Structure 1
Amino acid sequence: MQDTKCFHCGDSCDRQLIEFDEKSFCCAGCKTVYEIFSTNDLEHYYEIQAAAGSTPKFIEGKYDYLENEEITNKLIEFNDGTIQIINLYIPNIHCSSCIWILENLKKLNPNVTNSQVDFPKKTIRVTYKQAEFSLKNLVLLLANIGYEPYISLDDFEGKKKATDRTLIYKLGVAGFAFGNVMFLSFPEYFDLGSSAASGGEFWLNKYQHIFRWLMFIFSLPVVFYAGWDYFVSAYKGLRAKLLNIDVPIALGILVLFLRSTYEIAFHVGSGFFDSLTGLVFFLLLGKFFQQRTYSFLSFERDYKSYFPIAITRLNDQGKEETVPVQEIVKGDKILIRNEEMIPVDGKLVYGNAQIDYSFVSGESEPVSKTVGELIFAGGKQLNGVIEMVALKSVSQSYLTQLWGNAVFETDKTTTFQNITDSIGKRFTISVLSIAFIATAFWLFHDPSKAMNVFTAVLIIACPCAIALASPFTLGNMLRIFGKKKFYIKNTQTIEQLSKIDTAIFDKTGTITTTQKSTAHYEGMPLTAEEESILKNTIRASNHPLSRSLYDLLKEQNIITLDEYEEHVGKGLESSKNDISMKIGSADFVGKAKADSLLDTSIYISTNKGYKGRYVFQNKYRDGLSDVFKDMSQSLNLAILSGDNEGEKERLEALLPKLTPLYFNQKPDTKLEFIKSLQDQGKKVLMVGDGLNDAGALAQSNVGIAISENINVFSPACDAILDASKFQQLYSYILASKKAIRIIKMSFVLSLLYNCIGLYFAITGQLQPVIAAILMPLSSISIVIFTTVMTNLIGRKLG
């Protein structure tokens, strides 16, 4: 029974053995979890990684406090009365099997609609229906399958979790042991045992064995505490039939420890305890430096990466003013237009809200809210204009999390990380092969050098530098782009941006600016009541032409419309009292034929028939010609516009010759156009305004939304570019290409370093402790190189 392992968790069944379904389990808990998985068609959990589970713990009444509404309201991230969302910390998450089962919770309980794991943070974000499934039920479900969440007072009080200081403690232990072992090794260094005149004979007889066994004692916490993570990581990798970069490190530590213990136990020599403790100390020192540096980059990225969206705030006089979203504070009165994102939790004070919370929960059914009810950040208003009072300030981290919601992940695959992993795997195989071949050679020629050669090769050739090149380069580029008002969703987007060969642009609101447009009216005069309805109808819309016209029309009293609806790509429809109004294209308002194909217009009709139109003179963004001229040198360009051909001649004069211009394009035809290009092998960049272009932005390899002064947020986009930086767009594309070149240069540097180091290691000229010092230095040098080079790119961006 002692040799029998539990099928679920892998622990020994020496205390209790339960046989079920021709499998062995160590306890009833593991057997129950297996039954749950097997009856819900989740046996694939064990195929990903054998014995990956953990034994569930059952404590009766432990989570009864979650029935207290006051406590649960503090813990829950989102609650609209139907759907609840919560982030939970799961300490037991440790492998791909954990991720798979936790992201399939909906198969265990249909009330769970979505679950997303953040593996590095060991957290899970769960969306569930609260009517028949409470937070307590969710926590018990997780505990019953061996993934009990950790809920602390810090979670209840909303405090930030304390920083994990385990690495610091391990570094302290390794440093203390290394210093003492070096001190105890001095007699060995100076060979005092061979010098009777200096008292060496007395030391040799009385203290040599004591010093050596003291070094052994100091090495124990280094190997079995400070360096234990390397063994765990290597074991898990081998168990999953994967060779990770910790395998050669763990092997080197183990060989040093066993060889050193053998030497002092059988009085063969003093061992390599100085090299052993020094190796672990410098490895941890390198890891600490890497962790701190990357945390700094991540912090700066998080702090700077707020969405460049503005919100309309109503001052004490009721006047509208546009302010950055991060300036909203508790008590501010905010105007939310149709299709706008709600940036903060608040209370509805004007209008009838139809809110789409699919951005948050994935549920597409709109939720109706009336005056006095609470509305939550992340929802999108679908029915005209509303006013709300903010109850909280904006949480940038929440918005960032919303942008990265798995609900909106598209199949924009990237291979760069796979390339890095592939290099690391091949590198590990090569290192192990070289180590064994070199050791075999020295065993025949000079056995005294064989151990040093073996350990030095394993240490010096660690592919840590290769693994660091990508995250540090791309992470720093995210920070730099953020400073330049180019806000990118993730590092994979930078790589995709470096590969694009085709750029597609929307026209209105993308290459045109809404801030400098002019318009004049042609047609039957509007009555005062019609003018009021017109102003209040377009007040609720976020279309660039609507915003331009709204700014040009004279002030009107704010009224509540009886009906409002926006037809994407067509126009607006509203009614007040006995007057109904349509605003949009000629076809939409019922005009048989447009007055002209050579201009951009907004047509207006009422229930009395066609009234007239506002004719716009578009203002194109400064530097448009230069941007397209530069981009045309390396990219295929095209304009894909939903407007008519009125601006065709002006565009042909502004843009490079033979630039394709496509007009009267609907949102779905834009998407299909991009898809057809991709079918031809093109890597497509779509630049739009985030409104009618959501489908095209999602379909493209990289979708960039231009942001001016409107609060429009589309999870479909991969990046948001501040409109003031439009002229820099091509510079950002070139910078992404340079970032990839920096990564490739880092690979070459790492390979050069390893070749030189391996030469000295194989020839027996490199001691393990020197190799242990050089290894983190190589990693640090890669970090410095990538940081300096990316900062130089940032300076050139201006």
Structure 2
Amino acid sequence: MVKNKCYHCGNECTEGGIIYDRKNFCCQGCRAVYEIFSCNDLSYYYDLQTAAGTSPKVTEGKYDFLSSKAITNKLVEFQDDEIQIISLYIPNIHCSSCIWILENLDKLHKSIFNSQVDFPKKSIRISYNWQSITLKELVLLLSRIGYEPNISLEDYDKKIKKTDYTLIYKLGVAGFAFGNIMFLSFPEYFEVGEFWIDQYKPLFRWLMFFFSLPVVFYAAQDYFISAYKGLHSKLLNIDVPIALGIFVLFIRSSIEIIFDWGSGFFDSLTGLVFFLLLGKFFQQQTYSFLSFERDYKSYFPIAITRILNDGTEDTIQLYDIQKGDRLLIRNEELIPVDGLLLIGDARIDYSFVSGESATVYREPSDKIYAGGKQLSGAIEMEALKSVPQSYLTQLWGNAIFQKDRTNSFRTLTDRIGKRFTIGVLTIAFTSALFWLFMDSNKLINVFTAVLIIACPCAIALAAPFTLGNMLRIFGNKKFYLKDTQTIERLAQVDMAIFDKTGTITTAKKSTVSYEGMDLTQSEESLLKNTLRASNHPLSRALYDLLAEHDIITLDEYQEHIGYGIRGSKEDGQIKIGSATFVGKTKGTTSQNTAVHVSANDEYKGCFIFQNDYREGVSVVFNTMQNNMDLAILSGDNSGEKSNLEALVPKGTPLYFNQKPEDKLHFIASCQENSKTVLMVGDGLNDAGALAQSDVGIAISENINVFSPACDAILDATKFQQLPSYIQASKKAMMVIKLSFVLSLLYNVIGLFFAITGQLEPVIAAILMPLSSISIVAFTTVSTYAIGRKLI
């Protein structure tokens, strides 16, 4: 009896198998996957290959080790009472359909919350309810739909990434075939007669035909698949003219061989594919280099407080954290590494990691995970591992925090690519039609030469290489950008808004004086420990200035953003912040920044700060006013108005007593008036404004205030270079435009010879990658020149 095979995976269906949409399926999982594709107009997934969801043969018991809690804890990135997050390496990821199905795992199992694919690394990051689906069940689910993960504890420990050699194999096949076909074509080139004509000509031509088959159907398959998917989705991508050129060359050459009309163009065909893949290999290697630079050299200027054995505190860089270190995590600080909670009751927001906004409570001896933000006072923890800096890069770039700018922002390449492809196809078909009537013998040569010489590879390379290099250069200059699109948006800003405290002022050099009643020893101790838990720049300045006191654990701590902080211990209570917050309603007019204090609801006095503005503030504002509008939004009173007016250009709007929501609404109103807004803040109270702006830059003074809301982090020592960085972004965009002009010049000259029939396809295939390499060289040299001018 002939058994039916599963339409999705190709396995044999058992008796009582599932029939859906007149197709056989071996299990509900395969049926569900097919249904998802069908309902979303992606059934062409099955047109590409039979049994497209072929499942690997999973050995019985292969993943039993995932039932061990100890092993699971070693593999997962994050875990709380409900959610686990894990990243898995999946070698079978190879196309957009793979990405689509893997990012829709939540439709296959209700306990999977979300999944995000990193296509270049062939990995997937999955968030799921581990109470409803175990890690073992999740891995088996992935295996059943044809995406078996590659799990190795040794690899996880050493962070070894598997290398995909597919492109190298294809390049080798194309190179081997190209060399042999060129060799077999020598008699044709030199018009050898005698024994060649009668005995070996048919043999050599058919050998060339057979050598071309693996090139067309294996080495060049990615171009056909990409072009097919693009056309099926009604999109003209850059692979359409390439695939068309390869197809026409192969069909025409095969017809000539079959009917003995000539030797065809198999040398041009295999040469074209070889040089295309060579350019692709060159591009891939350069991307890998840029990725390496991004992951391991773009260290953020963020630090953490470490508590030494003698009870003193010092500040260390995150990547200096070692296993066993005792760390102090202040209010609103990020937990940089997995560890054990030692002192304090933690109230942690893990939305940075999981996207879930629910607060998690932890008690001493509980495990806490990297990426959470402490929301209630200071805690102390013991580090269980060192922190890879690339983890923060990954967290910063988490898709959960990507701003939805898809409707308002399109990259320069996106805007040009479609029109370019349409133009190339139009010229190719018009030229072919002309030579059809003028000289049909030149038709195929002209048509294929046009498609090859006008290949938009150079245009596709210009932006990634330019912006990728600028990303690295900015990182070396202590200006850390989230992604390359930030550079494009930064080049377009026409309005800059600055916060005051902690942004254009520095707490490190501030002069502080106290006015009011003296604080008792216990009140001063309580004040010191309340300030210890806060991350506000003024709180940190006061904490460093106050006399030494024993460190105590507060019974209660509250921070009211934009107003002040409150701490209590036993019968004592203290408030620090604005006059209104501490209960002082009269006689609070001050010409300087003031922080008021009350103890047990009795007003005590205030600390007066003589603001020290960052070096070069006036130069920054005067330089930036030439290209954009400026404004300052401050949460402080207007006491500093006269000092600010002396620093900023005349007529610059100054707004005081601005709450965080006021800043956000102000930026939104500017955007409604067609302004592209740059917001520069301290990353703490300005998180909402940074997220609302088109480009948000957080100023970092070597403290661990990390906010995924920002697009860039600028080391405070480089503040005066901000105008130079913006100007460098504009120059980078000019380099891209010049690259487009240079590529267009290549195409115009090449098209002239191609259209007039003076350019053989093989010569076009050689010139095409050379033009791409020259574009890459131009962008590299240009960005290097831009970077040399930055300080």
- With normalisation by structure 2, the TM-score equals 0.93
* 1:55 and 2:46 matched: no
Contact 1:689–1:706 under 8 Å retained in 2: yes
Contact 1:309–1:325 under 8 Å retained in 2: yes
Aligned partner letter, 1:252: G
Alpha-carbon distance between aligned partners in 1 of 2:242 and 2:597, rounded to the nearest angstrom: 73
Equivalent residue runs for 1:127-138 within 5 Å: 127-138=127-138
Over the matched positions of the two proteins, sequence identity in percent amounts to 68
Equivalent residue runs for 1:664-675 within 5 Å: 664-675=657-668
- Compare 724-733 and 746-755 and name the one that shifted more: 746-755
Counterpart in the other structure of 1:75: 75
Alpha-carbon distance between aligned partners in 2 of 1:423 and 1:742, rounded to the nearest angstrom: 15
Equivalent residue runs for 1:325-724 within 5 Å: 325-413=318-406, 417=410, 419-607=412-600, 609-724=602-717
Aligned partner letter, 1:300: E
* 1:751 and 2:759 matched: no
- Residues 570 and 422 (structure 1), Cα distance of their counterparts in 2 relative to 1, 3 Å cut: closer
* 1:115 and 2:115 matched: yes
* 1:738 and 2:736 matched: no
Q: 1:308 aligns with which of 301, 307, 324?
A: 301
Counterpart in the other structure of 2:216: 223
Secondary structure class of the residue paired with 1:558:
coil
Contact 1:457–1:758 under 8 Å retained in 2: yes
Counterpart in the other structure of 1:760: 753
Offset at residue 20 of structure 1 (A): 5.9
- Residues 156 and 290 (structure 1), Cα distance of their counterparts in 2 relative to 1, 3 Å cut: closer
Offset at residue 260 of structure 1 (A): 2.4
Secondary structure class of the residue paired with 2:508:
strand
Contact 2:245–2:452 under 8 Å retained in 1: yes
Contact 2:442–2:757 under 8 Å retained in 1: yes
Contact 2:307–2:326 under 8 Å retained in 1: yes
Contact 2:18–2:26 under 8 Å retained in 1: no
The C-alpha deviation readout for 1:310-333, integer Å capped at 9, x for no partner, is 111223433222222122222222
Alpha-carbon distance between aligned partners in 2 of 1:73 and 1:536, rounded to the nearest angstrom: 35
Contact 2:328–2:378 under 8 Å retained in 1: yes
Alpha-carbon distance between aligned partners in 2 of 1:42 and 1:224, rounded to the nearest angstrom: 26
Offset at residue 347 of structure 1 (A): 2.0
Q: Where do 5+ consecutive residues of structure 1 fail to align? A: 194-200
Counterpart in the other structure of 2:291: 298
Aligned partner letter, 2:414: D
- Residues 591 and 110 (structure 1), Cα distance of their counterparts in 2 relative to 1, 3 Å cut: farther
- Compare 206-215 and 408-417 and name the one that shifted more: 408-417
- Residues 699 and 369 (structure 1), Cα distance of their counterparts in 2 relative to 1, 3 Å cut: same
Secondary structure class of the residue paired with 2:680:
strand
- Residues 144 and 204 (structure 1), Cα distance of their counterparts in 2 relative to 1, 3 Å cut: closer
- Residues 381 and 649 (structure 1), Cα distance of their counterparts in 2 relative to 1, 3 Å cut: same
Contact 1:54–1:147 under 8 Å retained in 2: no
Counterpart in the other structure of 1:46: 41
Aligned partner letter, 1:689: D
Aligned partner letter, 1:700: S
- Residues 330 and 14 (structure 1), Cα distance of their counterparts in 2 relative to 1, 3 Å cut: closer
Alpha-carbon distance between aligned partners in 2 of 1:682 and 1:13, rounded to the nearest angstrom: 61
- Residues 359 and 594 (structure 1), Cα distance of their counterparts in 2 relative to 1, 3 Å cut: farther
* 1:258 and 2:251 matched: yes
- Residues 156 and 709 (structure 1), Cα distance of their counterparts in 2 relative to 1, 3 Å cut: closer
Alpha-carbon distance between aligned partners in 2 of 1:394 and 1:418, rounded to the nearest angstrom: 34
Alpha-carbon distance between aligned partners in 2 of 1:446 and 1:166, rounded to the nearest angstrom: 41
Aligned partner letter, 2:732: A
Aligned partner letter, 1:27: F
Alpha-carbon distance between aligned partners in 2 of 1:17 and 1:129, rounded to the nearest angstrom: 32
* 1:785 and 2:778 matched: yes
* 1:170 and 2:165 matched: no
Counterpart in the other structure of 1:246: 239
Alpha-carbon distance between aligned partners in 2 of 1:47 and 1:171, rounded to the nearest angstrom: 30
Aligned partner letter, 1:163: T
Q: 1:725 aligns with which of 693, 709, 718?
A: 718
Q: Where do 5+ consecutive residues of structure 2 fail to align? A: none
Contact 1:112–1:129 under 8 Å retained in 2: yes
- Residues 157 and 629 (structure 1), Cα distance of their counterparts in 2 relative to 1, 3 Å cut: closer
- Compare 146-155 and 337-346 and name the one that shifted more: 146-155
Aligned partner letter, 1:447: S
Offset at residue 62 of structure 1 (A): 5.3
Aligned partner letter, 1:75: L
The C-alpha deviation readout for 1:753-776, integer Å capped at 9, x for no partner, is 111111101111111111000111
Counterpart in the other structure of 1:196: none
Contact 1:46–1:97 under 8 Å retained in 2: no
- Residues 175 and 417 (structure 1), Cα distance of their counterparts in 2 relative to 1, 3 Å cut: farther
Contact 1:290–1:780 under 8 Å retained in 2: no
The C-alpha deviation readout for 1:588-611, integer Å capped at 9, x for no partner, is 111122532311111111116111
The C-alpha deviation readout for 1:688-742, integer Å capped at 9, x for no partner, is 0011101111111111000002100011101000000000111111111111122
The C-alpha deviation readout for 1:671-703, integer Å capped at 9, x for no partner, is 111111111111111110011101111111111
Alpha-carbon distance between aligned partners in 1 of 2:632 and 2:207, rounded to the nearest angstrom: 76
Offset at residue 518 of structure 1 (A): 1.4
Contact 2:18–2:25 under 8 Å retained in 1: no
Offset at residue 283 of structure 1 (A): 0.9
Offset at residue 107 of structure 1 (A): 4.8
Alpha-carbon distance between aligned partners in 2 of 1:794 and 1:668, rounded to the nearest angstrom: 37
Contact 1:10–1:51 under 8 Å retained in 2: no
Alpha-carbon distance between aligned partners in 2 of 1:175 and 1:146, rounded to the nearest angstrom: 32
RMSD after superposition: 2.9
- Compare 430-439 and 550-559 and name the one that shifted more: 430-439
- Compare 582-591 and 340-349 and name the one that shifted more: 340-349
* 1:190 and 2:183 matched: no
The C-alpha deviation readout for 1:461-486, integer Å capped at 9, x for no partner, is 11111111111111111111111111
Alpha-carbon distance between aligned partners in 1 of 2:787 and 2:309, rounded to the nearest angstrom: 42
Secondary structure class of the residue paired with 1:518:
strand
Alpha-carbon distance between aligned partners in 1 of 2:107 and 2:457, rounded to the nearest angstrom: 39
The C-alpha deviation readout for 1:21-48, integer Å capped at 9, x for no partner, is 6x3435345x75455786xx99652269
Aligned partner letter, 2:749: I
- Compare 76-85 and 259-268 and name the one that shifted more: 259-268
Contact 1:45–1:101 under 8 Å retained in 2: no
Secondary structure class of the residue paired with 2:519:
coil
Alpha-carbon distance between aligned partners in 1 of 2:338 and 2:29, rounded to the nearest angstrom: 41
Aligned partner letter, 2:41: Y
Offset at residue 92 of structure 1 (A): 5.4
Alpha-carbon distance between aligned partners in 1 of 2:460 and 2:698, rounded to the nearest angstrom: 32
